[in-house]
Amino acid sequence: MNWDFIGFTIEVLGKILVAFVAINVHYRFRKQHQLNDRVFRAMSREHILGMLGISLIIVGYFLQVPGKI
């Protein structure tokens, strides 16, 4: 294994972790606080976009792995 691949893998895992934490903060805020409909819709949309972003990071990782090995 080369160091470029290891560094790339750690970077992707860090990005996924940061995105996951941000999504969980939104989820907990929605469940614990009273929100008006506008804020609730915005947070729901951000949750979906965050999950899409994590999915794209993972897909991008697997597309780039062959060039890194």
Whole-structure pTM value:
0.75
- Measured distance CA(53)–CA(50) in Å, rounded: 5
Report whether 5 contacts 65 (CB < 8 A). yes
Position 9 pLDDT exceeds 80: yes
Distance of CA 55 to the CA centre of its chain: 7
Position 47 pLDDT exceeds 80: yes
Mean pLDDT in residue range 4-25: 90
Instruction: Please list, in sequence order, all residues whose beta carbon lies within 8 angstroms of the beta carbon of residue 6, skipping any fewer than 6 positions away.
Output: none
Domain boundaries, the chain: 3-68
State pLDDT tens for residues 54-64.
999 999 999 98
Quote the mean pLDDT of the chain. Answer: 85
